[in-house]
Structure 1
Amino acid sequence: MRKLAAAALVGVLVAVLPATAALAADSKPDIAVTSAADKANYAEGETFTITVTVTNKSSVDAKHVHYTGGDSEGVDGVAYGELSTGFDLAAGATKTVQITGKTNHVAWQSGYGFVAFALAADNGEANDADNITSVRLLVAGAFGDLGGYVFQGESDDAEWTPRTPGVPGVKVVATSADGKTKYAEAVTDAKGLFRFAHLPAGDVLLTFTAPAGWKILAGENGEEDHTLAQVRGDDSDEPRVFVPAKKVAASSPTVSPSATATATATASPSASASASAAPSASSSAGPGLPVTGDNTMLFVGAAAVAVAVGIALVLVARRRRVHLQA
């Protein structure tokens, strides 16, 4: 009986604990918020409307969901509407609200303005990571200059000073932030300085191509060859981008064994034949005899016999002549 009672108690705990954990996890509402602007681009002074989508992801009703604070730039007269007055949001429910405002001259100079804010409920917030949102409002029309240095450094956190040696010959390409539109390109001078004129205001992607023997140390942990920079319509031409580059061993081209074999295999037959037939450096300068493979000693012996026979015949003929004259 004791074993049965213990087993029953374990079963009750197994059934109750998950439910208790779920209740504890949903003791507060979980407000998630996203937002989107009504247009892709705005003019200076134009009215914008931002649609805000609020979702209660928990099983607990959210009481008095409201705007709790945020930041903005390049905009005027932002009206938060229901986000200011607040509203209740049932568990699992979603609600859309709107905020409005106007872009100003700062947005025109920067190429964009933005609105960022956070929401919360009076009965708490289970997850602060997803109740914050921001919207960027692009404002075209302004242009500005952008310059910087590519300088010698051993790490991505190296600091530039006016006496820091530069890296000349680095190609710098300026494109839109998404890399799809190319604006211009430049090459660093002897001091590592590069300059761009008349770039559109806003975020610009700079991509660096270093000469052999150098490695660009841009981006996170210095592992990238590109970085984002902001162009402002009211900026001077003072350099504002500083990218270190580290000296590395220049790689030299190598010939693979397969390439060597291919080169050997593709040599012309005539060239090979000429090479094999050519006399060695220690041979006589005169013309060489053809090599037939026959045993030349037999010819030498036969020639010697023929010479001996010829001499004997001459001597016999001379004796006969003397004898006849006598």
Structure 2
Amino acid sequence: MRKLAAAAALVGVLVAVLPATAALAADPKPDIAVTSAADKANYAEGETFTITVTVKNKSSVDANHVHYTGGDSEGVDGVAYGELRTGFDLAAGATKTVQITGKTNHVAWQSGYGFVAFSLAADNGEANDADNVTSVRLLVAGVFDDLGGYVFQGESYDAEWTPKTPGVPGVKVVATSADGKTKYAEAITDAKGLFRFARLPAGDVLLTFTAPAGWKILAGENGEDAHTLAQVRADDSDEPRVFVPAKKVAVSSPSVSPSASPSASASASPSPSPSASPSSSAGPGLPVTGDNTMLFVGAAAVAVAVGTVLVLVARRRRVHLQA
């Protein structure tokens, strides 16, 4: 009876859950994907920009009232979202392009870029929240400033620099574009670990560090990289703004160079005794080890004799057992 009651309870649960599952399957959500692109590669301070936004409904259900839900921006003024603010319907599988406008400001000039980022949603839900977010960067070229920092002694990537912290001299620092494709300049840290670049373009730069033997750079989020991103800003303080720790590591001993002189190799290895040298007319012979060869011959004879005795004893035991 208990088994029947349990089975009945299970059937009841399935009967209650199945209609809800079917209702969810019958009510799919729209899947909104959004991308954006600026109309120019570079802008001047105060210049108007236009961003073209492409919105696609990738699902099989219509999206009701697609609209702007929030975002962030920097280095821009007067952003007008147009239809993204008022909202619009988007049929299943349909694509729509809209435009937003604004102007770059002095912050964009200082930083080398401004940006606009935002997300969209539909009133009847969203199937994939990762696709409905977009951002675009608005570059402001022609602005330059200095950048400096310290490579200092530390045992972990989160070590903190102070004016009394010893530096690591002799570290090569190369500044490139953020994608690493354009080299701007290189510098070497001084006795205090200080490096400095003059007139780098404002914006993100990639700094790559090459430490001398016995040191390991601890850059990146977990200290596992030898490079880090830094931002150059115009009208900023000339004080160093990049701080990268490095720790001492063991230096592996150098291996013997193949080009070592033959005389050095000969003096490092012991020469065989003249009395042990085999005659050149005697053929290959046995290798000379410096041991008495007769000892090996005697040991071999004893081993053969012992083996013969063991075989005879084994045979006698087997005959005795069979008898």
TM-score interval, normalised by the smaller of the two chains: 0.7 to 0.9
Residues 26 and 58, structure 1, Cα contact 8 Å, conserved in 2: no
Q: Provide the C-alpha distance between the structure 2 equivalents of 1:285 and 1:227, rounded to a whole number of angstroms.
A: 69
Q: TM-score, normalised by structure 2?
A: 0.73
Over 3 Å counting, the alpha-carbon distance change for 1:262 and 1:209 in structure 2 is farther
Deviation at 1:28, TM superposition (A): 2.3
Could you tell me which runs of 5 or more consecutive residues in structure 1 were left unpaired when the two chains were aligned.
Answer: 277-281
Deviation at 1:243, TM superposition (A): 0.6
Residue by residue over 1:83-105, the C-alpha shift from the partner in whole angstroms, topping out at 9 and shown as x without a partner, is 01100011222211111111122
Deviation at 1:60, TM superposition (A): 2.3
Over 3 Å counting, the alpha-carbon distance change for 1:135 and 1:310 in structure 2 is closer
Over 3 Å counting, the alpha-carbon distance change for 1:303 and 1:185 in structure 2 is closer
Deviates more, 1:80-89 or 1:284-293: 284-293
The residue number in structure 2 matching 1:208 is: 209
Deviation at 1:14, TM superposition (A): 15
Deviation at 1:127, TM superposition (A): 2.2
Residues 149 and 194, structure 1, Cα contact 8 Å, conserved in 2: yes
Aligned residues: 321
Residues 26 and 126, structure 1, Cα contact 8 Å, conserved in 2: no
SS at match of 2:273: helix
Over 3 Å counting, the alpha-carbon distance change for 1:23 and 1:310 in structure 2 is closer
Residue by residue over 1:210-245, the C-alpha shift from the partner in whole angstroms, topping out at 9 and shown as x without a partner, is 010000011131111111100001111111111111
Over 3 Å counting, the alpha-carbon distance change for 1:285 and 1:152 in structure 2 is farther
Over 3 Å counting, the alpha-carbon distance change for 1:257 and 1:85 in structure 2 is same
Q: Provide the C-alpha distance between the structure 1 equivalents of 2:144 and 2:167, rounded to a whole number of angstroms.
A: 27
Could you tell me which runs of 5 or more consecutive residues in structure 2 were left unpaired when the two chains were aligned.
Answer: none
Over 3 Å counting, the alpha-carbon distance change for 1:59 and 1:26 in structure 2 is farther
Deviation at 1:10, TM superposition (A): 13
Residues 276 and 288, structure 2, Cα contact 8 Å, conserved in 1: no
The residue number in structure 1 matching 2:307 is: 310
Deviates more, 1:141-150 or 1:7-16: 7-16
Deviates more, 1:155-164 or 1:136-145: 155-164
Q: Provide the C-alpha distance between the structure 1 equivalents of 2:307 and 2:27, rounded to a whole number of angstroms.
A: 132
Over 3 Å counting, the alpha-carbon distance change for 1:22 and 1:257 in structure 2 is farther
Deviation at 1:26, TM superposition (A): 5.5
Deviates more, 1:292-301 or 1:192-201: 292-301
Q: Provide the C-alpha distance between the structure 2 equivalents of 1:101 and 1:17, rounded to a whole number of angstroms.
A: 51
Residue by residue over 1:151-175, the C-alpha shift from the partner in whole angstroms, topping out at 9 and shown as x without a partner, is 1111111111222211111111111
The residue number in structure 2 matching 1:232 is: 233
Over 3 Å counting, the alpha-carbon distance change for 1:21 and 1:176 in structure 2 is farther
Over 3 Å counting, the alpha-carbon distance change for 1:25 and 1:53 in structure 2 is farther
Deviates more, 1:160-169 or 1:248-257: 248-257
Over 3 Å counting, the alpha-carbon distance change for 1:98 and 1:15 in structure 2 is farther
Q: TM-score, normalised by structure 1?
A: 0.72
Deviates more, 1:20-29 or 1:265-274: 265-274
SS at match of 1:239: coil
Matched, 1:164 2:165: yes
Over 3 Å counting, the alpha-carbon distance change for 1:181 and 1:313 in structure 2 is closer
The residue number in structure 2 matching 1:105 is: 106
Deviation at 1:121, TM superposition (A): 1.0
Over 3 Å counting, the alpha-carbon distance change for 1:17 and 1:266 in structure 2 is farther
Residues 26 and 59, structure 1, Cα contact 8 Å, conserved in 2: no
Over 3 Å counting, the alpha-carbon distance change for 1:259 and 1:2 in structure 2 is farther
SS at match of 1:196: strand
Deviates more, 1:58-67 or 1:131-140: 58-67
Q: How does 1:23-38 map to 2 (within 5 A)?
A: 23-24=24-25, 27-38=28-39
Over 3 Å counting, the alpha-carbon distance change for 1:47 and 1:260 in structure 2 is same
